[in-house]
């Protein structure tokens, strides 16, 4: 049995395929772009190709991320907070505080030993605490997203990028460049600023040791350093580049749990959202079922 988790984020779409033993058999990442339904279809096709698995062999699809409702072939959906928490508990059972830096938002989640969300905070609407802020800074410095980590690690004297507004921060970057500050010091300064905001968000959910970092920033050694320096602690990061796919992994794990339950009960796998004729919000019932049918009586 194969189960797919599809995470349609604001910047990247991620997909992961696991088998019945919860082993990862394929993964795919691609830019989301502005056509979200095409993004989900595209990343899924890529996933199947990478895994060498036929579409009809995928038993269940769980979607997450901002674009979760646009995945027409999903059986269920879950927010990325729940998905991340679930994957965190699976990969590093001692995780208590999780930080995910996405393209357009940043999430701090406090979880318990069973991967349940105890508290969460998201950044406010300002982009100054997000991956987009770093991308914008990098673009201005003529760097690609892949370059910025190694480049920033060359910094000897990071400068302060203090603005709380991503657009105003650009003015600061221009000002630093005009003053002859090396680009690597500016880039590292931007990462220190972002790291400070991210750790502050973690403090607001209550810092409990057992830290995990997820999202595209897990590929960025300079950003990890900036965060760990501020936190004065170490992050657990999923191996083999799975850090960026943590949300998709969580969705896949939740999907597998649901599929196993249905099969154990001898019930059929429900139709996908497309077959239900809706691409929008879940019904309450569907979520209860997905969580294991555990509608509890108080």
Partner 1 sequence: MSTATVQHPAPTETDDFDPRAEGQRLIKDWYAQLETANARNAAVANVFVMGNAVEILRAFDFELVFPEINSLQTGVRKASEEYIRLSEDYGMSPDVCSYVKADVGLILKENEHPAGRIPKASLAVASNMCGTFIKWAEIWERWLKTPTFVLDLPGQRAAGWQVRPGDAQHAADARWVEAQFQELIVQCERITGKRFDMDKLAEVEARVNKMVDHWNNVMALNRQCPAPFNAMLDGLTYIGIMNVHRGTEEGVEFMRRLEEHLKAKVGRGEGRVAEERFRLLFSGTPCYVSMRRLVELFETWGGVFAYSDYLTFAAGGMDATDLRYDTSRPLESLAEVTALAAQRGLSNQFFAHERLAQQIKDYAVDGVVFHGIKSCRFVSSGMADTREFINKRLDVPTLYIESDLIDPRYWSDAQIKNRVDAFFEALHQRGGGAPLARKTVATA
Chain contacts with partner 1 (rule: CB under 8 A): 66, 78-82, 105, 116-120, 122, 124-125, 206, 278, 280-284, 287-288, 291, 295-298
Query: Shortest gap between Cβ of 182 and partner 1 (angstroms)?
Result: 36
Query: Shortest gap between Cβ of 115 and partner 1 (angstroms)?
Result: 9
Query: Shortest gap between Cβ of 224 and partner 1 (angstroms)?
Result: 25
State which residue, 86 or 176, has the beta carbon closest to partner 1: 86
State which residue, 48 or 109, has the beta carbon closest to partner 1: 109
State which residue, 163 or 288, has the beta carbon closest to partner 1: 288
Cα diameter, the chain? 70
* Alpha carbon distance 92, 85 (integer Å): 10
Asked whether the beta carbons of 107 and 237 are under 8 A apart, the reply is no
Query: Shortest gap between Cβ of 41 and partner 1 (angstroms)?
Result: 20
State which residue, 232 or 284, has the beta carbon closest to partner 1: 284
Nearest to 183 by CA among 211, 141, 221: 141
Going edge to edge, which strands form the sheet with 97-101?
Answer: 117-122, 106-111, 97-101, 211-214, 235-236
State which residue, 104 or 236, has the beta carbon closest to partner 1: 104
Query: Shortest gap between Cβ of 81 and partner 1 (angstroms)?
Result: 4
């Amino acid at each position: 049995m194969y189960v797919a988790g599809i995470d349609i984020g604001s910047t990247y779409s991620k997909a992961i395929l696991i088998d019945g033993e919860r082993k990862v058999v394929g993964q795919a990442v691609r830019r989301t772009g502005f056509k979200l339904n095409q993004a989900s279809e595209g990343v899924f096709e890529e996933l199947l190709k990478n895994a060498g698995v036929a579409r009809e062999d995928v038993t269940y699809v769980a979607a997450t991320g901002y674009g979760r409702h646009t995945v027409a072939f999903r059986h269920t959906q879950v927010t990325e907070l729940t998905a991340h928490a679930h994957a965190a508990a699976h990969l590093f059972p001692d995780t208590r505080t999780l930080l995910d830096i996405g393209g357009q938002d940043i999430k701090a989640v406090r979880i318990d030993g069973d991967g349940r969300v105890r508290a969460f905070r998201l950044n406010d609407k300002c982009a100054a605490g997000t991956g987009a802020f770093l991308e914008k800074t990098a673009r201005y410095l003529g760097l690609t997203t892949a370059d910025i980590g190694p480049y920033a690690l060359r910094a000897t004297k990071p400068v302060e990028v203090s603005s709380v507004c991503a657009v105003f921060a650009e003015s600061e970057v221009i000002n630093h460049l005009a003053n002859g500050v090396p680009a690597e010091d500016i880039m590292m300064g931007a990462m220190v600023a972002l790291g400070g905001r991210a750790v502050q968000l973690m403090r607001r959910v209550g810092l409990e040791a057992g830290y995990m970092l997820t999202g595209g920033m897990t590929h960025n050694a300079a950003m990890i350093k900036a965060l760990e320096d501020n936190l004065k602690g170490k992050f657990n990061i999923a191996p083999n580049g799975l850090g960026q796919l943590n949300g998709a992994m969580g969705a896949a794990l939740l999907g597998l749990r649901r599929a196993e339950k249905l099969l154990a009960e001898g019930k059929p796998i429900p139709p996908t959202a497309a077959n239900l004729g809706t691409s929008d919000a879940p019904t309450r019932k569907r979520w209860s079922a997905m969580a294991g049918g555990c509608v509890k009586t108080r």
